Amino acid sequence: MAHPKIAFIGAGSVEFTQGLLADLLAFPELKSAHIALHDIDAERLDTAEAAARHIAAERGADARVTAHADRRASLAGAGFVINTVQIGMAEATRTDFHVPARYGLRQTIGDTLGIGGVFRALRTFPFLKLLGEDIADLCPDAWLLNYTNPMAMNVQYLTQATGLTRVVGLCHSVYWTLRDLAELLDVPYDEITYRAAGVNHQAWVLRFERGGEDLYPRLDELIAREPQLRRRVRMDMYRRLGYYPTETSEHSSEYVPWYLHHDSEVDRLRLPVGAYLDMTDENVASYHRTRDALAKGEPLAVEGTMEYAPQVIHSVVTGTPRTVYGNVPNHGLIDNLPAHGVVEVPCLVDASGVQPTRAGSLPPQLAALNRTYLSTNDLVVRAALHDEPRHVRHAAMTDPATAATLTVRDVWRLCDDMVRAHGELLQPSLRVLLADPADG
């Protein structure tokens, strides 16, 4: 694989594509790679291509860059497929927030669990099925590196609906959590050792050490001295559960029933309800700035992001061993979580590919929360696999933050409203409106 072909699906997510390319083309062994870009938005695809050529020039790379409106052309012969699609784009994201808000349901990010996560998954699954079929046909030995959220639902659906086995979900949350913890304690990141496991956006730092010293007591001392640190959800969860969660407070608040429903907790823990809407607007603005700068021939900053996909590709191509955190089906990796669920664990990567490592059993309080998360995921996936619209409602009923806020009748009605709002983005069997059983 001297000149690997790397297909970017959803390359119009230009800022993300830029960061990945900056990392990829920094590796000498990947400077001659074939970068095949695909997006259904012609303007965004043109912008991604211009950005890729600029980054290649800045990195001194002789990469072959091609742009494809046809997805199959981008995939043919690929060794790696990076998926960053967002089905429905910003408009669908706004729907995910505005419709539930009419029922008094608060969300902060809305891309992993909750009503936002459920419907983001349901409008992504039809695309994933087609993508999986294309990969099986055109590049069956390729590694599919998924970045699209909801990560765990998407990876579970991909592996169950398509039969693909070389699928791993990649997320930077574990890495950046430990970078932030090291900085908080004024400890060089390169000097710490750690191990985490759980589910995406709700994994747990099980070991956090420096030179054999457990760093958790130092974190406890810092929290005791700094009252403002205690006004964050992840710190609150850590102090109650004994292990630090691997996602931001904004994310973490949505996966449990304790915070968003209560005005006092929103205030105490400084939760920015609807935060992702501002991020969505900024992402659109950032794209426009990049597009306009490229059109004017202005220089773009070429900055690495330390994302996992470039590291995985480099390790597979060169045999360089690395450890990354990946999201994969739980086939005996975490004993006290469901076997069919997708878990986040350390993975060894080398020329043999991505090899998940066994984590054993989680502390019971952590496994209890992860099992609830995976139960919601499973119902969403089953809804799509078995054409069962009732499972969409069942998933919403089991979701912790939704169930803490809404009556079951409002859960049922909200799901109907979301089906109406997302319309043809859903597979036909799930566009069904269901009468509330209480009305029968």
Would you name the residues annotated as active-site residues? 172
Rounded CA gap, 117 and 38, in Å?
25
Phi, psi of 199 (to 5 degrees): -125, 160
Q: Do residues 346 and 193 lie in contact, with contact meaning Cβ atoms separated by under 8 Å?
A: no
What distances in angstroms separate CA 72 from CA 20, 88, 135, 229, 420, one per listed residue? 21, 21, 8, 49, 31
> Which among 248, 246, 203 has a CA at the least distance from the CA of 109?
248
Q: Do residues 160 and 381 lie in contact, with contact meaning Cβ atoms separated by under 8 Å?
A: yes
Rounded CA gap, 59 and 65, in Å?
14
Residues in Cβ contact with 439 at an 8 Å cutoff, skipping those fewer than 6 apart: none
Residue 202 has which token pair? 């709700």
Burial class, 118, CB count within 10 angstroms (exposed 0-12 / middle 13-18 / buried 19+): buried
